[in-house]
Amino acid sequence: MSGIKTLQPTLLWKWFSQICAIPHPSYHEEQIAQFIMHWAKGKGFYAERDEVGNILIRKPASEGMENHVPVALQAHLDMVPQANEGTVHNFTQDPIQPYIDGEWVKAKGTTLGADNGIGMASALAVLDAEDLEHPPLEVLLTMTEEAGMEGAIGLRPNWLQSEIMINTDTEENGEIYIGCAGGENANITLQIERKLNTFQHSYQVGLKGLSGGHSGGDIHTGRANAIKVLARFLAKLTQEQPEFQFALSDIRGGSVRNAIPREAFATLAFNEDLATLQQAVSEFEGVLKHELVKVEPNLSLTLKPVENADTVFSQNTTQKVIHLLNVLPNGVIRNSDVLENVVESSLSIGVLRTEEEQIKGTILIRSLIHSGNRYIGSLLKSLVTLAGAEVQFSGYYPGWEPHNDAPIVDLTAKIYANVLGYAPTVKVIHAGLECGLLKKIYPDMDMVSIGPTIRNAHSPDEKVHIPAVQTYWELLTKLLAAIPAK
């Protein structure tokens, strides 16, 4: 971890190293929140937490900028916890282990937490620095963004004094975001009929080694969803080899709702010749490697014996879950008619698990427009009705409507062009940002989102580009210095 402290800008990377050292997955941000509060109060800053745990820190303006427009820097405290198979890591207790690989910083076997740890580190570095020009400054650090934006939803009204907000959760150098998709969870439940397991064999089929990634930012890339691909295999086995009779005793995949699942597993109980299943697995793996040779070069479909369970799903339940998952829409539903090369609406099943009496799946619906969200919700209602399942919707958050005439957008673009040597791209992102929710609470606040290049967020392949962090820091500090007087 000491290696990244040698990178430039030193103060930002020092803070990122400290953030990596303190566990902070969603719903477990309290330790890092207390550390930051203790530090801020020790520096003599105003520091307070609201009813849901969000942190607000205020720093007076640098000399000569007291009468300039006040600005808030905003980041979220939590990170997505994902680990490679075989990596033993307790995200609530163990530190992230970052390391330098050429021009990138990565983590050993886990997500790095550059989303949004770099943004948080930059905000804390601005607070920590004594040589920067800036207007009256606020830093807002929100709780549990990755698991449902709960901090932004519960943010205290009339708390912030700033007129401009700079969100630090963008993940592409040279781009300025002024809008984002809204989202909602669709929670599907299918009741399980069980029967006594009288089968001779139980084998687990496992799909592993997929790329995963952000279910918003990466949804257009064609990366495979492990849950969907496994369902396709099971449906193929049922439809093309009906003589191979089996029952499921378990099916699961994914671990967080906003990441494309990298792994999925199903346990099959059967009496038939094992060679039939072995051949089906081998042939389907070959099909996948041919189809997905570019986007999923490391996939593998495995088969291993497991202990027989006491009960298995009935044939009715086995067929229902297979066919429900196989026909479940997933991925890009529609591209925007208004914004070029932007996804309008999508969905991704992120988590599937078997409980004692139910199979539960969590889907994240995203759309730039409310009607798109409602359309996908209607599709899912029709589908689960046909399958004899149920769906409940929760955690809705609005999109961030773009306003490219806001003065902060023009100023950011001007400063960024000077830093880059070319004009930045001003755009809307399909991933969710907290700005939409924050704009509802603070409708008169102008907002913009910037950040460095981060690849493969929400997966253990996550990495942040070191030169882009330097560019981002230069933009951020010059932008703060250029904020106009009131």
Q: Name the residue among 130, 132, 142, 136 with its Cα closest to residue 71.
A: 136
Helix (H, G, I), strand (E, B) or coil at 16: helix
DSSP 395-441: EEE--B---TTSHHHHHHHHHHHHHHSSPPEEEEESS--THHHHHHH
**How far is it, in rounded angstroms, from Cα 428 to Cα 341?**
10
Instruction: Report the relative pairing of strands 264-270 and 246-253 from DSSP bridges.
Output: antiparallel
Number of helical (H) and strand (E) elements in the chain, helices listed first: 11, 23
In the residue annotation, 78 being an active-site residue is answered as: yes
Angstrom distances, CA of residue 26 to CA of 22, 30, 95, 370: 13, 10, 14, 27
Q: Which residues pair with 202 in a beta bridge?
A: 269
Cα 106 to its chain centre, rounded Å, is 17
Structure tokens at 381: 């209602």
Q: Give the number of other Cβ atoms within 10 Å of residue 4's Cβ.
A: 18
Residue 61: closest CA among 53, 70, 52, 51: 70
Match 């890092």 to its residue by tokens. Answer: 32
Residue 115 known to be catalytic: no
* Catalytic pick among 145, 150, 446, 461: 145
CA 81/CA 146 separation, integer angstroms: 10
| Catalytic pick among 29, 78, 446, 461 | 78
Q: Half-sphere exposure of 53 toward its Cβ, with a 13 Å CA cutoff?
A: 20
Q: Measure CA 330 to chain center.
A: 16
Distance CA 60, CA 138 (A): 9
CB neighbourhood size of 304 (10 A): 9
Cβ partners under 8 Å of residue 276, min gap 6:
241, 244
C-alpha 154: how far from chain center: 20
Alpha carbon distance 169, 159 (integer Å): 21
Residue 168 near residue 126 (C-beta atoms within 8 A): no
Which DSSP state fits 247? E
Q: Which residues are catalytic?
A: 78, 145
